[in-house]
Amino acid sequence: MRILVVGGGTGGTIVANNLARRLSAEIRSRRVRITMLSASDRHMYQPGLLYVAFGQMTPDQLYRDQASLLEGAIDFHVDPAVQFQLDQNKVITQSGKVYEYDILVMATGSRIVPEQVPGLVEGAETFYTEATAVKMFKRLREMQEGTVAVVVGVPHKCPIAPVELVFGLHDYFKARGIRDKIKIKYHYPIGRIHTIKEVATWAKPEFDRMGIEYETLFNVSEVDVKNKVVRSEEGTETQYDMLIAIPPHRGMEVIETNRLGEGGWIPTDRFKLTMNGHDNVFVVGDTTNLPVSKTGSAAHFQAEVIAENIASMIKIGTPVRDYDGKVYCFIETGHDSATYAMFNYQNPPDLKPPSKPMHWFKMSYNQMYWTSVRGLL
Amino acid sequence: MSDTKIVDARDTFCPGPLMELITHMKQSSVGDTLELLSTDEGSGADVPEWVNKVGHEIISNEKIDGVWHIKIRKAK
């Protein structure tokens, strides 16, 4: 049985490690082989980018060698997939190698596409890459007064990030003693300040208390870099001195070029996590088209289901459980407090008051991630 | 005009039905029709509010067996 995992991010790594442990006997007896293909020899802890943008972490703290995170039995290659021949159970890589599989796990992730909004690349700061997070922090340090506008592209990874960013901005400028000279204006695509009703209900009075202005039903359409104005599809505009964008995302280009899913998102069964029409192809994390948060947390819980089901298919001939839509998101509510949102397909989140211990837990998790992605936590 | 595209956002809290609809609207062409399925009680009002503000067109909006079925035509 040949299991091929394409992608070495959170989802792919947890699937591969979990499988390697569940199937250790089968791997030793050469009845099972696990191969991983990735575009990089490094693994980034992406949630850390927000801390980089506030000068609380440095980029080198975000990385580990991918090989060091994988169980020894996993055959790992830095050789990204370029062509998928699903009807023949084959994947062709950049180097020209052909990988045949019996079970394929698609874990290619997502990418930012700020270029889809005219002016956004030139006019906005963002923190979704190492370079732009560092640049954003340098711009924040230069700010002495004026308006910081926050805009949110759709769809975007980590739906909690917009509110975490705003709370972080408030605390950052407060710590510098210039909060009264900075106007923070937040713009959000739908008719409340966060897509999760419970988060919006909780955050609105917090925004009011902190003096944060907000405009809802604002889908960024263009940035007039010269005049420092950001405009919305809904016909409104905001003048800014510093613009920070949560950039819109798409699935990876290789998914689009292989016509595996519109927007680069693969059509996926929300319970089985298999690609529609392909029972031997599993899809995890950002790669899916599921109406589920694009977060490492969702990828983690999905990866556990996928690994358990693949292992049970090999051992007893059938998958054993469905994905229930579980997501658990920390919400940093400033630089010294946090809460969390946990929900699934059937149960909405029940937000608890922010606390310092929850912030410390999040800070601990920033290190515990490396244990988690190894599949040990 | 292409066939109606179904956006199944039932039983989802994040990113939620309207955010899902906006994602699919961005991937669609002018003239396309999308049908949003939502179990969020607020969708019956929230979705038309956005659609009307941005200038798309509501074709129909009805609740059947606890599920909102909202058809929208992309106008711009």
- What is the rounded CA–CA span in Å between residue A231 and residue A218? 8
Q: Do domains A2-109+252-327+369-373 and A113-245 have the same CATH topology?
A: yes
Give pLDDT, residue A376: 78
Tell me the pLDDT tens digit for each residue of A151-180: 999 999 999 999 999 999 999 999 999 999
Low-confidence stretches of chain B (pLDDT beneath 50): 1
Is A377 a residue whose pLDDT tops 50? Answer: yes
Best residue in B13, B18, B21, B23 for a mutation probing chain A (most A CBs within 10 Å): B13
Inform me whether the C-beta atom of residue A259 falls under 8 Å from chain B C-beta atoms.
Answer: no
Inform me whether the C-beta atom of residue A196 falls under 8 Å from chain B C-beta atoms.
Answer: yes
What is the assigned CATH class of domain A113-245?
alpha beta
Q: Quick check: A147 and A240 in contact, CB under 8 A? A: yes
Using the beta-carbon criterion (under 8 Å), do B23 and A154 form an inter-chain contact?
yes
Q: Which CATH topology does A2-109+252-327+369-373 take?
A: FAD/NAD(P)-binding domain (3.50.50)
Q: Which of residues 13-42 of A touch B (CB under 8 A)?
A: none
- What is the rounded CA–CA span in Å between residue A263 and residue A251? 6
Domain ranges of chain A: 2-109+252-327+369-373, 113-245
The answer regarding whether domain B5-73 maps to CATH 2.30.130.10 reads no
Q: Give me B15's structure tokens.
A: 């990113």
Is A239 a residue whose pLDDT tops 90? Answer: yes
pLDDT mean over A256-270: 97
By 3-state DSSP, what share of chain A in percent is helix, strand and coil, each rounded to 5?
35, 25, 35
Question: Token match 């009264």: residue?
Answer: A180
Using the beta-carbon criterion (under 8 Å), do A191 and B15 form an inter-chain contact?
no
Give pLDDT, residue B2: 55
Q: Does residue A248 have a cis bond before it (omega within 30 degrees)?
A: no
pLDDT mean over A57-81: 97
Q: Does residue A155 have a cis bond before it (omega within 30 degrees)?
A: yes
Q: Which of residues 33-62 of B touch A (CB under 8 A)?
A: 42, 46, 49-50, 53-54
Inform me whether the C-beta atom of residue B66 falls under 8 Å from chain A C-beta atoms.
Answer: no
What is the ipTM metric for this complex?
0.92
Using the beta-carbon criterion (under 8 Å), do B46 and A191 form an inter-chain contact?
yes
Q: Which residues of B are catalytic?
A: 14
Give pLDDT, residue B1: 46
Domain ranges of chain B: 5-73
By 3-state DSSP, what share of chain B in percent is helix, strand and coil, each rounded to 5?
30, 35, 35
